[in-house]
Amino acid sequence: MSDTPQITDSHCHLDFPDFEGQLDQIVTNAAEAGVTRMVTICTRLRNEPTVRAIAEAHAPVFYAAGTHPMSAADEPMASVDELVALSRHPKFVGIGETGLDYHYTADSAAVQKQSLRVHIEAAQRTGLPLIIHARAADDDIARILAEEHRNAPYSCVMHCFSSSAELAKAALELGFYLSMSGIAAFPKSQELRDIFASAPVERVLVETDAPYLAPPPYRGKRNEPAYTAHTARKGAELFGMDYAEFAAQTQANFNRLFTKAATYKAAA
């Protein structure tokens, strides 16, 4: 299906039990939908060897690693040196996901903030993009991201962006990217679609966050990287672009942010 526009699922979780024993088929499904690259995200550093092995076994798959904010209180605190060491793998392309989540885990806010700053320093030192999860913590996340960016610039994507217009503006002003998940395709997400529509299309990525947040017509079912195409079609509609044009734009955006993935060449 070489005429299918190519896109990248910039954020999924292929190590989750939902995909056990099915990864070959998942990668095939993705390719048939034009999803020719995926970044699978390790959310607990003790699982990094498993996630790395998935990337090593599947040519289209890259990976990132960090401590998810909802796990920050339950996991050993990551160190900058540990993240920098992991980043030396040729298919390791981002730092995170990290961030702040006060929706369920506000009681661990202090440790989440500490963990976030560790991950930011790793992004500053490696030059790899930071992958941010933000939920119910807009003011704190905007302040910390800006403070640290003043200390030393770094690149960043606001993964599965579904926060306020104010946080979107703050992130965009720092030169960061917003990633569109299946939430943007939900019927009741017009306010979120308006936020994306007001962003520069040059700063928009697409993702699944699979196995979560499947876009229509699969809402309520297990998500998978192939379904990035449904979110991307909604994005094309939002920006008044044809699908091939929007797909090419998101590819260029991904390549600009995830430069290590863009320049990766498999060993002969």
- pLDDT, tens only, 86-110: 999 999 999 999 999 999 999 999 9
The answer as to whether 239 is a domain residue is: yes
Strand order in the sheet with 130-135: 7-12, 35-42, 61-65, 92-101, 130-135, 156-158, 177-180, 204-206
- Dihedral sign from CA coordinates of 253, 254, 255, 257: positive
Task: Tell me whether residue 268 is in a domain.
Answer: no
**Global confidence as pTM:** 0.97
Domains: count for the chain: 1
**CATH number, domain with residue 139:** 3.20.20.140
- For residue 218, tell me if it sits in a domain: yes
In a domain, 133, yes or no: yes
Give domain status of residue 67, yes or no: yes
Tell me whether strands 92-101 and 130-135 are parallel, antiparallel or unpaired. parallel
Tell me, yes or no, whether 35 lies in a domain: yes
Q: What is the CA radius of gyration of the chain?
A: 17
Is residue 75 in some structural domain? yes
Tens place of pLDDT per residue across the chain (268 aa): 458 999 999 999 999 999 999 999 999 999 999 999 999 999 999 999 999 999 999 999 999 999 999 999 999 999 999 999 999 999 999 999 999 999 999 999 999 999 999 999 999 999 999 999 999 999 999 999 999 999 999 999 999 999 999 999 999 999 999 999 999 999 999 999 999 999 999 999 999 999 999 999 999 999 999 999 999 999 999 999 999 999 999 999 999 999 999 999 877 5
186-231, pLDDT tens digit by residue? 999 999 999 999 999 999 999 999 999 999 999 999 999 999 999 9
Label each residue of 98-132 as H, E or C: EEEECCCCHHHHHHHHHHHHHHHHHHHHHCCCEEE
Nearest to 232 by CA among 255, 204, 258: 204
Question: Is there a domain that residue 2 lies in?
Answer: no
Parent domain of 187: 7-262
